[in-house]
Amino acid sequence: MLIPEIAYAGAAVAAGAMTWAVRGRSACVFGASVHRGPRDHKAIALTFDDGPSESTPQLLDVLDGEGARCTFFQVGRNVERLPEIAKSVLARGHEIGNHTYSHAPLYLRPAQFIADEIFLAQDVMYKVTGLAPSLFRAPYGARWFGLRRVQEHFGLLGVMWTVIARDWKLDAQGIHQRIKRGVENGAIICLHDGREVQPNPEIRATIEAVKRLVPELRERGFELVTVSDLLCPKASSNA
């Protein structure tokens, strides 16, 4: 009875390959994507998803105090709700990226749904900030069929991460230690300044962890730059 065993093994391999294509940090099956920058430059990109939120200005104050420039993957509905905060992210020297309009998962969705989510986010972010993002991060880091075409249409580069902080569930100490263990040249770190589309989300642990982390990274000689500057040090999409 080898045939059923072979069929089962083949199905398992196929399922594993699909899981990697959808969630793998280095996967580019559904569109061009990066998860880290060059290893030969002592720089790191801190990124923040799900904002803007009511607490984003407090986080911006912490980053300003250390001269850190970061990338914020914003949700269109949050940009509509808090336009002045969305604009302040750019005004204070940071970069913005597209994190869809409603933060709905893209996997198992039709291509038109994916296109609408990305288009609506691009549209509202351009109307509010005057800038159309060139970077995209899928909610939950999960990509799907149809995404490549939309990314190419809008000129978007997908951005995954080297380390994800799990700051929606860990306390400040846990976030801090998790990031410290993964820090290396060219790392892209994923944190959150919002919680999907929730108003007034609780992000105090993230802010406290960033307060501890950023000075330590500076002391270790790391530059804290946007994703665009990490990938191409002589150019930035928000220059």
Q: What values do phi and psi take at 142, rounded to 5? A: -110, 120
What SS3 class is residue 148?
helix
Residue 237 CA to residue 154 CA, distance in Å, equals 14
Determine which helix (DSSP H) or strand (DSSP E) holds 48, and give its type and residue range.
strand 43-51
Q: Which residue in the block uniquely carries the two structure tokens 């730059």?
A: 225
User: pTM score, two decimals?
Assistant: 0.92
Give me the residue spans of the domains in the chain.
Answer: 25-231
**25-231 CATH:** 3.20.20.370
Residue 97 CA to residue 75 CA, distance in Å, equals 9
- Give pLDDT tens digits for 94-127: 999 999 999 999 999 999 999 999 999 999 999 9
- The answer to whether 134 and 228 have CB atoms below 8 angstroms apart is yes
Residue 97 CA to residue 48 CA, distance in Å, equals 10
- Give pLDDT tens digits for 9-18: 455 567 789 9
